[in-house]
């Protein structure tokens, strides 16, 4: 696969360089130069295929020049080793559960695939890959668990002290092996600034092989297309055809993957982008003006993004055709009060506990149904995280119904360890150099 930069269509790189560099030097984003449309035979018979088969078919259409078939198959089986079930809540409403991976959030799809692709491209005897990642919560856990035990890699996670949930912290600090956590006495922005400064530091780059694991890496986007096709496959089995996906969105990577899947032939009628009050995209679709704003903290904190980095990818997919995009993607925003009310409504109507991000996606389905009534459609809202990751948001009665997965009980028994640092770059740099190999 060849990729171009959204800032320079003439710049073309291969998949391996796009994976290791994450971002072109011109600060654009990498996009596939050609998007293959999957065979009609495959698309019409999706319900005959399993998730690993679907994943392989998609990945191979994109990456057959980059990774030989047998290796790609093995890589996918190793990365996507957990299910993505679609569960019926009523005759026309389904929830796509994307939280059955090790970190209990959908970011496991991207992080596990990316870690294995990077490990695959690392040649024997090459310098160890040092992955630096700043996290506000979910990304760090998915990246840590994605790289855990992957040979010739090491991950250093920076997280802001007192600003991640207890379970998120447990996932960051209980790994050992090739994963190191640093608790920074500062904000998420401070963590991100330290990581950026490290990437810009000549001495560090000369002595270590640094790479980033942030969400704009193209190898995180690709595996997120798999579950859209797999969801349609499951709905075909249930005799459902006109499918509408509602995606809780922050950085817009998840829905960008859905729209990439659409371009590859995903049979779907409509997308809904659901946001919290960080509503840059809903405002853009209403007014035509794209105006980013500083992010505002909400209960759905993984969606607290004022300048969604993947939006530019979506505009590229639609060749800047805003009208086409507005037809296919409807967008709605919700406040914290509406989110908490939705958690209660979903619980009362369906006896189902949804995390705050998931509840926002459900709310957007209700708005869409009111705005565009049709008897034929089937609605699928994406559940991006397990409710147990956000215990403080729930009314007590509902919180008591959340089952905590067994894997978390295991984590609690393990030793926790983190380094503690301020926001001083020299201390962070000295820490990195001390671990030089």
Residue ranges in contact with ligand PLP by CB under 6 A: 105, 107, 138, 248-254, 302-303, 357, 384-385
Please give the Cα distance from 320 to 431 (Å, whole number). Answer: 44
Alpha helices in 22-123 (DSSP H): 40-44, 51-63, 69-79, 107-121
- Closest to ligand PLP by CB, 146 vs 250, is 250
- How near is the Cβ of 259 to ligand PLP at its closest, in Å? 12
135 burial via Cβ count (<10 Å: 0-12, 13-18, 19+) = buried
- How near is the Cβ of 184 to ligand PLP at its closest, in Å? 20
- How near is the Cβ of 383 to ligand PLP at its closest, in Å? 9
DSSP symbol at 251: S
The label of the residue with tokens 């190999």 reads 437
Please give the Cα distance from 413 to 234 (Å, whole number). Answer: 37
- Closest to ligand PLP by CB, 20 vs 299, is 299
- How near is the Cβ of 425 to ligand PLP at its closest, in Å? 27
- How near is the Cβ of 252 to ligand PLP at its closest, in Å? 5
- Closest to ligand PLP by CB, 153 vs 224, is 224
- How near is the Cβ of 70 to ligand PLP at its closest, in Å? 31
- Closest to ligand PLP by CB, 30 vs 252, is 252
Nearest CA to 81 among 122, 38, 50? 50
- Closest to ligand PLP by CB, 217 vs 251, is 251
- Closest to ligand PLP by CB, 246 vs 251, is 251
Residue 27: other Cβ atoms inside 10 A = 9
- Closest to ligand PLP by CB, 105 vs 182, is 105
Residue 142 parent element (H or E):
helix 138-147
- How near is the Cβ of 394 to ligand PLP at its closest, in Å? 15
DSSP symbol at 39: P
| b/e sequence 380-417, b meaning 16+ C-beta within 10 Å | bbbbbbbbbbbeebbeeebbeebeebeebeebeeeeee
């Amino acid at each position: 696969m060849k990729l171009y930069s959204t800032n320079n269509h003439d710049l073309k790189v291969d998949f391996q360089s796009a994976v290791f560099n994450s971002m072109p030097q011109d600060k654009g984003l990498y996009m596939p130069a050609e998007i293959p449309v999957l065979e009609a035979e495959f698309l019409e018979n999706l319900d005959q295929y399993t998730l690993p088969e679907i994943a392989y078919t998609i990945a191979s259409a994109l990456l057959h020049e980059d990774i030989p078939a047998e290796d790609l198959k093995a890589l996918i089986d190793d990365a996507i080793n957990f299910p993505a079930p679609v569960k019926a809540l009523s005759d026309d409403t389904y929830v796509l559960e994307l939280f059955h991976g090790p970190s209990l959030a959908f970011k496991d799809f991207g992080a596990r695939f990316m870690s294995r692709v990077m490990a695959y491209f690392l040649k024997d005897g090459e310098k160890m890959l040092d992955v630096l990642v700043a996290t506000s919560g979910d990304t760090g856990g998915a990246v840590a668990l994605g790289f855990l035990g992957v040979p010739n890699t090491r991950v250093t996670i920076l997280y802001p002290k007192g600003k991640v949930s207890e379970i998120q912290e447990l996932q960051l600090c209980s790994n050992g092996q090739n994963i190191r956590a640093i608790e920074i006495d500062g904000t998420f922005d401070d963590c991100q600034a330290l990581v950026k400064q490290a990437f810009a530091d000549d001495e560090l780059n000369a002595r270590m092989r640094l790479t980033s694991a942030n969400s704009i890496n193209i190898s995180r986007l690709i595996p997120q297309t798999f579950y859209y096709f797999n969801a349609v496959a499951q709905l075909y089995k249930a005799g459902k055809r006109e499918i509408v996906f509602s995606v809780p969105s922050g950085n817009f990577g998840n829905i960008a993957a859905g729209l990439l899947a659409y371009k590859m032939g995903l049979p779907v009628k409509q997308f809904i982008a659901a946001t919290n009050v960080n509503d840059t995209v809903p405002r853009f679709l209403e007014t035509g003006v794209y105006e980013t704003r500083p992010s505002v903290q909400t209960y759905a904190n993984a969606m607290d993004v004022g300048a969604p980095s993947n939006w530019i990818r979506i505009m590229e997919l639609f060749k800047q055709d805003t009208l086409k995009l507005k037809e296919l993607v409807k967008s709605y925003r919700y406040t914290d009060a509406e989110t908490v009310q939705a958690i209660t409504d979903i619980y009362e109507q369906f006896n189902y506990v949804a995390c705050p991000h998931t509840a926002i996606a459900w709310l957007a389905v209700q708005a869409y149904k009111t705005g565009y009534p049709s008897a034929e459609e089937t609605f699928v809202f994406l559940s991006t995280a397990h409710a147990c990751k956000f215990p403080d948001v729930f009314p007590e009665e509902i919180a008591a119904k959340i089952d905590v997965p067994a894997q978390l009980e295991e984590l609690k028994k393990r030793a926790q360890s983190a380094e503690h640092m301020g926001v001083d770059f020299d201390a962070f740099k000295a820490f990195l150099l001390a671990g030089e190999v």
